[in-house]
Structure 1
Amino acid sequence: MIRTLEERDYSQSLQLSEYAFQYKLSEEEREQRSEQMGDQKIFGIFHDDHLAAKLHLMPFQTWFGERMIPMGGVAGVATYPEYRRNGYVRKLLLHSLEAMKEAGQFISMLHPFYIDFYRKFGWEVFASYRQMTVDQKELSPLSTATCTIRREGVTKEVMEAYDRYAKKHNGMLVRTDAWWKKKEDQWHVATYHADEMEGYILYTISEGVMTVDEFLPLTPGARKGLWNFICQHDSMVLTVKVKLAEGEVLPLMLKNPRIKVEDYPYFMARVVDVEPFLKTYLRDKETFEAFTLKVVDQHATWNSAVWHLSVNGVERRDGSPADVEVGIKELSAFTFGFLSAADLEAMGHIDADEVAFLESVSTTRQTCFQDFF
């Protein structure tokens, strides 16, 4: 039987996390984690009052262009070895889908320990990132206009810059002040200023390696200026590693573009409740030819239906012939903008005559996700 953990269960939850993810918390960290649990729903399966498996469900919002969408973040999924292969994680995931639907969180995200495992339950990769590794000898500045770089904390300008960048993409986390506070405690912040603040980086330096975890330019000048600031560390570091959003053009601008650039499939997403999600998604579409969409979702049966999509909205029409049939994980990757209709056809998920229907409602924004939970 699944039940929601109470404060008296938090110690067991922390012990399971320490065992499963192989770390040890200090007493201060245990207190901080316990406080954070009050803002989460933690579902657990118990054996004789002993916690056997658990799943954390966190309430978030994500940017979908200019709109904010309620999202359920799945994290901390863990089972003790002696209780594995009993289907406990499956039960917890299905329970979380029902809980998210009830809470009005009509999309979900998670960081997978193994991508194919979560695909079985309808989640699909929606965001990847590129890591650029540059040796000290390749740290060559680019020409740039006069500007100012400031090393400072997380300011209101930094938060606003993030939001401006996020609204150009699908899937980025809506960050609270508390979330930003964690960023400030863990990274250095450098900002680029011309007439106004036009971008920033979050970075650390340790043992001869500069790691840029967030490279966020809003203008071409900021892209050059922030890179030049990174190059100014050439006397301090042997290697620079820069985490870049998919589609970021910086590697091509370097004087020697033949550097190591690795692609990492990163976060996964899932549409939890098709009807309200599609209603929100289609608000950006001023005109397209109406069509019917059959969604197949074996784990969230409320989604398995034929939906009529038009500029007037979304209507359930079970029994009607469908112009397009698609699984929930493919629909999720498509609507976020990670896979195109042509990609779905190339992968064998839809037929050639279905491509045009989906293309008519495709998003023009790229996906991006810069966080972790």
Structure 2
Amino acid sequence: MSREKLLEKLKMKAVEPKHGEQFNDLLRYVFNITRHDLQSVGWEEGEIAQAKLPVLEQADVLGWFNGDQLVSQLAVYPFQVNIFGKAYEMGGLTGVGTYPEYSNLGLMNKLMRQALANMRERNQSISYLYPFSIPYYRSKGWEFISDKISFQLKDTQLPKLRHVPGNIERVTIQHPDIKRVYDRFARQTHGAMLRSELAWEEYLRWDLEDMTAGIYYDSRNEPTGYLLYWIEEEVFHLKEMIFINQEARDGLWNFISAHFSMITSVKGYTYTDEPLSFLLDDGEIKETIAPYYMARIVDIHLFVKQYPFQSQESDIRLTLALHDPMLEWNQGTFTLTVNRQGEGQLGKGGGTPEAELDIQTFTTMLMGYKRPTYLQRIGRLHAEESSVHLLERLIQRQEPYFSDYF
């Protein structure tokens, strides 16, 4: 069949719960998930279909159909993230895949354009995703906004016990105080997911059944930190460590160090720009940094309107030339105005642009992952020094934290 006739047969429409089996079959095919993979994390055949029903019921799932057969798809979760203290509606892109016999027909490009338009209608001014192909998603307007640091330390490198007034309680991973601590943490941490029930389900979906939790309670019996972990073959695997203050951090590390006689090493992850090695007495540990999640601004006008710029001594105006490979409403010349309170507006038009950049650079810059000075130095931001200095003054200095996966 010719390419043109095949395209005529295809129809884009919503993927509904009744298409659940096809949705899962396509996911498993494109991500090469086998029955053995599912069983290794405690899943039985058929359970993944039931587990993914919330996606089809709560997310915006679009697909191309050849008759009744689903051949290409993507899903957008309705999430929220904290951006410099403001709660933003975020479209979490996932479940992206096309059967190989339908590749190179432009199907995914059209699905993405429609999904981004739908995000804009739902006031989701930013989108996050985990990239399975970095060049591909960069070409669609996404850019890195967070890192993941993997670490491994030997039992002899565990930190010495520090006195803390509180105590640790071991509990199941469903304990309500875990969500209480995380919510408090996320609302004071730039870039973090504000986890809804759906976000929690996704975060814990593939975890082993024998994973457990430890919660740190301070002297007033308030939960201020927790860790999720499991022990396997004398290795302490740390999935997540969340703490509100240094006392809770010390208490959690005391708990890990108490396993000295049971383990030979600790493996885990951090998601900040603070390497663990600096905090240890013996800092000669193995740490590997890798870029983690990507994001793209969906609607520049709404994003800037919500964005908390740094307060200034006087009102500021800056004319920008923006480029977006997917969305026409993000392209052109715009004038950014920011008042003394740090409230911004982006208007269409203006004089000669004082800075030129693409949506990828605009996103990573406003998220604080890369600074304007650095972006100018590597040729991603084209601007005079005065404009770069102005952007440096406007954008807060804090790198994003993001530890979720969906």
Give the alignment's TM-score, normalised by structure 2.
0.85
1:174 Cα offset (Å): 1.1
> Deviation digits for residues 294-341 of structure 1, max 9, x if unmatched?
221131110113133221641423152222222101111011111111
Question: Unaligned 5+ residue runs, structure 1?
Answer: none
Q: Is residue 356 of structure 1 aligned with residue 384 of structure 2? A: no
Q: 1:159 aligns with which of 179, 188, 194?
A: 179
1:121 Cα offset (Å): 0.7
2:5 match: none
Task: Answer whether contact 2:72 2:97 (CA < 8 A) is retained.
Answer: yes
| CA–CA separation in structure 1 for the residues paired with 2:104 and 2:203 | 37
Report the CA distance shift for 1:184/1:33 in structure 2 as closer, same or farther (over 3 A): closer
| CA–CA separation in structure 1 for the residues paired with 2:288 and 2:112 | 31
1:105 match: 124
Q: 1:293 aligns with which of 314, 317, 320?
A: 320
Once structures 1 and 2 are overlaid, which stretch shifts more, 65-74 or 138-147? 138-147
2:192 match: 172
Q: Give the share of equivalent positions with the same residue, in percent.
A: 29
1:156 Cα offset (Å): 4.5
| CA–CA separation in structure 2 for the residues paired with 1:142 and 1:116 | 45
Give the alignment's TM-score, normalised by structure 1.
0.92
Once structures 1 and 2 are overlaid, which stretch shifts more, 269-278 or 175-184? 175-184
Task: Answer whether contact 2:309 2:396 (CA < 8 A) is retained.
Answer: no
| CA–CA separation in structure 2 for the residues paired with 1:168 and 1:21 | 35
Alignment of 1:23-38 (within 5 A): 23=33, 24=35, 26-38=45-57
Once structures 1 and 2 are overlaid, which stretch shifts more, 231-240 or 148-157? 148-157
2:253 match: 227
2:72 partner SS: strand
Once structures 1 and 2 are overlaid, which stretch shifts more, 102-111 or 361-370? 361-370
Alignment of 1:179-328 (within 5 A): 179-180=199-200, 186=207, 187-195=211-219, 196-248=222-274, 250-282=276-308, 285=311, 287=313, 289-305=316-332, 306-311=334-339, 313-328=344-359
Task: Answer whether contact 2:317 2:335 (CA < 8 A) is retained.
Answer: no
> Deviation digits for residues 96-123 of structure 1, max 9, x if unmatched?
1111111211100000102121000110
| CA–CA separation in structure 2 for the residues paired with 1:199 and 1:282 | 28
Task: Answer whether contact 2:14 2:63 (CA < 8 A) is retained.
Answer: yes
> Deviation digits for residues 178-206 of structure 1, max 9, x if unmatched?
54466678442212222333221111222
2:351 partner SS: coil
Task: Answer whether contact 1:142 1:254 (CA < 8 A) is retained.
Answer: no
| CA–CA separation in structure 2 for the residues paired with 1:58 and 1:340 | 29
Alignment of 1:115-130 (within 5 A): 115-130=134-149
Report the CA distance shift for 1:308/1:253 in structure 2 as closer, same or farther (over 3 A): closer
Please give the root-mean-square deviation of Cα atoms over the aligned residues, in Å.
2.2
Q: 1:19 aligns with which of 5, 8, 29?
A: 29
Amino acid at match of 2:337: L
1:38 partner SS: helix
Amino acid at match of 1:107: I
2:3 match: none
Task: Answer whether contact 2:190 2:400 (CA < 8 A) is retained.
Answer: yes
1:71 Cα offset (Å): 0.7
Amino acid at match of 1:10: G
1:74 Cα offset (Å): 0.5
Q: 1:337 aligns with which of 368, 378, 384?
A: 368
2:62 match: 43
1:51 partner SS: strand
Task: Answer whether contact 1:106 1:276 (CA < 8 A) is retained.
Answer: yes
Report the CA distance shift for 1:310/1:184 in structure 2 as closer, same or farther (over 3 A): closer
Amino acid at match of 1:8: K
Question: Unaligned 5+ residue runs, structure 2?
Answer: 1-10, 39-44
| CA–CA separation in structure 2 for the residues paired with 1:197 and 1:273 | 38
Amino acid at match of 2:261: S
> Deviation digits for residues 143-177 of structure 1, max 9, x if unmatched?
33343111124545433322332233322111124
Task: Answer whether contact 2:203 2:404 (CA < 8 A) is retained.
Answer: no
> Deviation digits for residues 72-117 of structure 1, max 9, x if unmatched?
1100101112122222222222221111111211100000102121
Where do 4+ consecutive residues of structure 1 move more than 6 Å?
Answer: none
Q: Is residue 365 of structure 1 aligned with residue 393 of structure 2? A: no
Report the CA distance shift for 1:216/1:16 in structure 2 as closer, same or farther (over 3 A): same
Amino acid at match of 1:88: L
1:284 Cα offset (Å): 5.7
1:360 partner SS: helix
Once structures 1 and 2 are overlaid, which stretch shifts more, 252-261 or 191-200? 191-200
Task: Answer whether contact 2:216 2:225 (CA < 8 A) is retained.
Answer: yes
Task: Answer whether contact 2:354 2:384 (CA < 8 A) is retained.
Answer: no
1:59 Cα offset (Å): 0.9
